[in-house]
Amino acid sequence: MGKAQLTVIFQRQMEQVSGLKQVIFNNDSMGELPPLARLLFAGLWCLVDNKGRLEDRPGAIGKALVGYDKVSANQVDKMLQSLHDRASIVRYSRGGSNYIQVNNFNKYNKMLIRMQSQIPAPEFQ
């Protein structure tokens, strides 16, 4: 039997999980949020692509991250907005679609595999 081979996708997911740093939880602004919002933020790191971006779809995000809790898409939307208001994420629109950028993602996540993001970057003014 040969050595087990990690798929590129599994390797990327493991790198993202290992990139979640304690500094996120020691942030005073993050400490002002309810526990479920902090969990949601940590979970975003597992959903984003290698540039820290994902589609802004509160229902899908809620199902993926807090599906066992009774949380509506509207509640997830409010938690995402509170993360945006605290500059933990940026919610933006490009080409008629809504996206999220996790701020400082590349600072705290050192991925070995660098693939091009399929999601456009936010335009900062």
Domain ranges across the chain: 10-108
CATH class of 10-108: mainly alpha
Q: What is the pLDDT of residues 21-60, one digit of tens each?
A: 666 777 788 889 999 999 999 899 889 988 899 999 999 9
Q: Give SS3 for 70.
A: coil
CB proximity list for 46: less than 8 A, separation 6 or greater: 13, 16, 17, 65
DSSP letter assigned to residue 118: S
Higher pLDDT, 28 or 91: 91
Higher pLDDT, 3 or 48: 48
DSSP line for 5-59: ---HHHHHHHHHHHT--GGGTT-HHHHTS-HHHHHHHHHHHHHS-TTSEEE--HH
- Average pLDDT across the chain, whole number: 82
